[in-house]
């Protein structure tokens, strides 16, 4: 596949993800309408199908970013026991529906925590389990995480074995995609993957990597931390606006929308918002120009936190957004947990690092004015 083909496939995946997010937002609204037993069952089936499709497209997007070395890692303390419990909860029902017994074990100290990107590590394990389930034939899938400390470092070993008897089926696209993504992510995390068919039956895939030990796992962020915030959503795409509105509603936030930068600046002049979600590429006035115009407004309005809402989130892009006066980035396609964390950070978190840094320089040194988010939120 040529670079042009890869670029087109990646852009198509992003477009599909946005459309699926819009369909999921519609399904979420239908769920809240209480359509009766039959209607609710249909909506649930629709939502499950859309979620599966969104998961596959999301893997394709992450795989492309991993191959292009543009994935960003969120290194935080992660309690390994909690991570394995979450993986087990995610796959238990799927395995049972496929008639497969899933045995997932953790061998390590119960409270052991390491500094690692827990979401990416979980994706690696998910990819191997999904691959095993997709092969057809196994009565059981055995997965395990072993953690052994050595001074300040912890060696993590993950192994997934399927017990397929006879000639297993080739994994379908979701399983193959998950395995490919797991291989790339393991490499990104500094590890190596190996595996293949067993001498007898089935196959085993495993990987090993190291991570520094953490004193204690950080408390999990709550999606309700930004409750009651009033959010201005700025995007020229109606589906994107609807998805962001639905997510904000799920976080107990209120929201208003604008179709471009000009509308956003006018809305900021007339009403108070606690945070702005700003698309970058828009007609009439783009997100960077709108941010500059808002920062030039008189009074506390100019200090309103602004988060870039964009599919372009490479380090160089993020530096450009920060230089324009934005506090953070919500990457498209929008993931609920990432939006919740971004809102919390903008509204409640300490702003010293973000406010004082501009491409590695203090803002004053770069000739800009420091800005801080408001200390209170609507409804707080």
DSSP 358: B
| The last residue of a domain, from among 182, 214, 246 | 214
Please, which pLDDT band fits residue 176 given cuts at 50, 70 and 90? Answer: confident
Crossing angle of helices 173-188/118-134, nearest 10°? 150
Q: Is the pLDDT of residue 165 over 70?
A: no
Q: How far apart are CA 231 and CA 340, in angstroms?
A: 12
Are 41 and 134 in a shared domain? Answer: no
DSSP 333: S
Q: How far apart are CA 236 and CA 227, in angstroms?
A: 25
Q: Is the pLDDT of residue 167 over 60?
A: no
Mean pLDDT in residue range 169-196: 84
Are 151 and 103 in a shared domain? Answer: yes
Percent of the chain at pLDDT > 70 equals 82
Let me know if residue 249 belongs to a domain. Answer: yes
Let me know if residue 155 belongs to a domain. Answer: yes
pLDDT at position 288: 94
Are 241 and 314 in a shared domain? Answer: yes
Let me know if residue 361 belongs to a domain. Answer: no
Are 57 and 167 in a shared domain? Answer: no
Are 84 and 42 in a shared domain? Answer: no
| The last residue of a domain, from among 67, 89, 123 | 67
* Token pair in block for residue 203: 């196959």
Are 80 and 208 in a shared domain? Answer: yes
Domain count, the chain: 3
Strands 230-234 and 254-258: parallel
Residue-number span of the structural domain to which 265 is assigned: 230-356
Are 116 and 190 in a shared domain? Answer: yes
Q: Which residues lie below 8 Å from residue 344, measured CB to CB, with a gap of 6+?
A: 221, 222, 225, 226
Let me know if residue 179 belongs to a domain. Answer: yes
| The last residue of a domain, from among 67, 93, 116 | 67
Let me know if residue 372 belongs to a domain. Answer: no
Q: How far is CA 362 from the centre of its chain?
A: 29
Are 52 and 164 in a shared domain? Answer: no
Let me know if residue 46 belongs to a domain. Answer: yes
The CATH number of whichever domain residue 297 belongs to comes to 3.40.50.2300
Mean pLDDT in residue range 160-174: 64
Let me know if residue 124 belongs to a domain. Answer: yes
Q: Which residues lie below 8 Å from residue 152, measured CB to CB, with a gap of 6+?
A: 212, 213
Q: What is the pLDDT of residues 125-134, one digit of tens each?
A: 999 998 888 8
The CATH number of whichever domain residue 192 belongs to comes to 3.30.565.10
Are 210 and 252 in a shared domain? Answer: no
Cα R_g (the chain), whole angstroms: 23
Mean pLDDT in residue range 180-185: 93
Are 15 and 84 in a shared domain? Answer: no
Q: Is the pLDDT of residue 218 over 70?
A: no
Identity of the highest mean pLDDT range in 4-8, 177-181, 197-201: 177-181
Are 246 and 291 in a shared domain? Answer: yes
Are 82 and 195 in a shared domain? Answer: yes
pTM: 0.60
Please, which pLDDT band fits residue 369 given cuts at 50, 70 and 90? Answer: very low
């Amino acid at each position: 596949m040529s670079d042009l083909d890869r670029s087109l496939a990646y852009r198509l995946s992003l477009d599909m993800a946005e459309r699926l997010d819009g369909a999921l937002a519609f399904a979420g609204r239908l769920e809240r309408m209480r359509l009766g037993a039959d209607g609710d069952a249909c909506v649930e089936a629709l939502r499950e199908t859309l979620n599966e499709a969104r998961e596959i497209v999301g893997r394709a997007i992450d795989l492309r970013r991993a191959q292009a070395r543009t994935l960003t890692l969120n290194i935080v303390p992660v309690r390994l026991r909690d991570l394995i419990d979450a993986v087990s909860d995610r796959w238990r029902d799927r395995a049972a529906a496929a008639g497969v017994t899933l045995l997932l074990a953790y061998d390590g100290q119960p409270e052991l925590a390491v500094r690692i990107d827990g979401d990416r590590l979980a994706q690696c394990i998910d990819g191997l389990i999904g691959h095993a389930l997709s092969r057809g034939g196994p009565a059981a899938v055995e997965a395990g995480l072993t953690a052994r400390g050595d001074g300040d470092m912890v060696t993590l070993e993950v192994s997934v074995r399927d017990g397929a008897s006879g000639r297993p089926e080739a994994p379908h696209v979701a399983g193959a995609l998950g395995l490919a993504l797991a291989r790339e992510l393991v490499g990104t995390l500094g590890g190596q993957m190996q595996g293949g068919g067993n001498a007898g039956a089935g196959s085993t895939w495993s990987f090993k990597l190291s991570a520094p030990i953490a004193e204690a796992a950080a408390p999990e962020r709550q999606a309700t931390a930004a409750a009651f915030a009033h959010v201005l959503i700025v995007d020229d795409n109606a589906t994107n606006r609807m998805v962001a509105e639905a997510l904000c509603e799920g976080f107990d936030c209120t929201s208003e929308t604008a179709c471009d930068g000009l509308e956003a600046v006018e809305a900021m002049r007339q009403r108070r918002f606690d945070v702005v979600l700003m698309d970058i590429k828009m007609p009439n006035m783009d997100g960077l120009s709108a941010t500059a115009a808002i920062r030039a407004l008189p009074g506390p309005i100019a200090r309103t936190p602004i988060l870039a809402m964009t599919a372009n989130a490479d380090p160089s892009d993020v530096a450009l957004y920060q230089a324009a006066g934005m506090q953070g980035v919500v990457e498209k396609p929008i993931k609920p947990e990432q939006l919740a964390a971004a809102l919390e950070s903008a509204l409640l978190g300490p702003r010293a690092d973000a406010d004082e840094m501009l491409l590695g320089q203090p803002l004053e040194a770069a000739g800009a004015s420091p800005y801080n988010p408001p200390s209170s939120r609507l409804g707080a």
